[in-house]
Structure 1
Amino acid sequence: MRVKDTATQNWFDKGGSAYALFRPEYPAALSRFLADTVHHRGCALDVGCGNGQLTCQLAEHFARVVGADPSRDQIANAHRHVNVDYICAPAELLPLPDDSVDLVTAAQAAHWFDRPSFYKEASRIAAKGAVIALVSYGTMRLAPADLQERFDRFYKDEVGPYWPPERKLVDSGYADIDFPFEAMDYPEMAIDRAWELGEVLGYISTWSAVRRINEAGREDILEAFVHDISDLWGDPTRKRPVWWPINMRVGRL
């Protein structure tokens, strides 16, 4: 089935299952780095875990990992791992004991939190020497240049007005996010993929701004983008390079 012949809502009307299918996986180097920052590898907590992408990677380095997310839909579609337990809970009210967690992470999620409340909870559950890491990945990059140009116009001009204000923190690489901890250095990393057109459109379908476009009845914006990007892409099964820079704020609790 050709992408051009697919109804727009087939790409842009998805829930937690789309996150599980289309959100890009973090490089293994990220979880290794985070594990190396802590004194003990007993328990890690991934807050706002979504479908558990980082959660399950951390499970390769910790005796136990807890993934917490307020969305039951996300938890229902989360990846499973023998060392991972999922709980439905918000970042601001974490049902874990005091002094019980060696690493607290929030991947592509902290910009949605009530961060003062989250930081208070993170400090409460933190064991001695625990680390907190806020991870984000920036705007998707495409090649060749004509794809990037059309995507930039879509992202900045057409979708831009529908992004919630919190998105600015992601665009800045969390440089402007409030972070009341002494910052630690981290190595340069990126998410690198080779994707077909359907995977790119599936990923875009997970954006909060796309949900707002649908709610506003402006499916024409999405239809025009699908038409243009399909023409530029060519064979929709052809894999093209896609990447995202990874940004972090890391500190000791």
Structure 2
Amino acid sequence: MSATAQNPSNETFVLNLGPQHPATHGVLRVKLVMDGEYIVEAEPVLGYIHRMHEKMGENRTWAQFLPNTGRMDYLHALAYNHNYVSVVERAAGIEVPERAEYIRVITAELNRISSHLLWFGAFVLDLGGFSPLLYAFDDREQILDLLESVTGSRLTYCYFRFGGVYNDIDEDFVAGARAFITRMRERMPMYHALVTKNIILMKRLKDIGFVPQEMCRKYGATGPVARGAGLNFDVRRHEPYS
């Protein structure tokens, strides 16, 4: 938090961001107290993105609810597919073949990377950098092509089934996945040069909105938020799901 935000002047004003605003990436309302261009207080107003999945689940069978999981977060739908089928399989005592376990993890991780690429590109765009968005979307399209070849869809996947997956992968998918991994490793220095070595972007990010380690522990933060705070924690390593 900046010194201005910690010691605001008496000339503050209230600004409503959302619930529908072109600067937000979803339906969200935040009530802001502003001191010039500095945010002094932020009060999120929840509920605008609620889509009644729980209520719909009351009138569906376990299998009929599968498509809903792909719409809870359409950018990383396979994670929700995976969570849902894993819970049902554990409750019903269903054993998943090892090959299917590997396919699930590979496709879900590819989907996770595609989700991160969209976040990364849009985040930098919001900060005033346009080029990284184009590169990120170019790489993301490579993943969507791969996932479409095996799932039949580019978004809102419904690929996992209780006990496995509905379609096997082939040699073309394996070759494409290997080629993409090589491509991304080669692209990382470029992203590093465009973003983390960009003085303007770093000035707009440094010491802004960071989450202390203690707060991460208090609220159970995981993923990039926890690791960004310096916590050596990855739920995939500490509590393996497959």
TM-score (norm 1): 0.27
Higher helix proportion: 2
Specify which structure has the higher proportion of strand.
Answer: 1
| Larger Cα-atom Rg | 2
TM-score (norm 2): 0.28
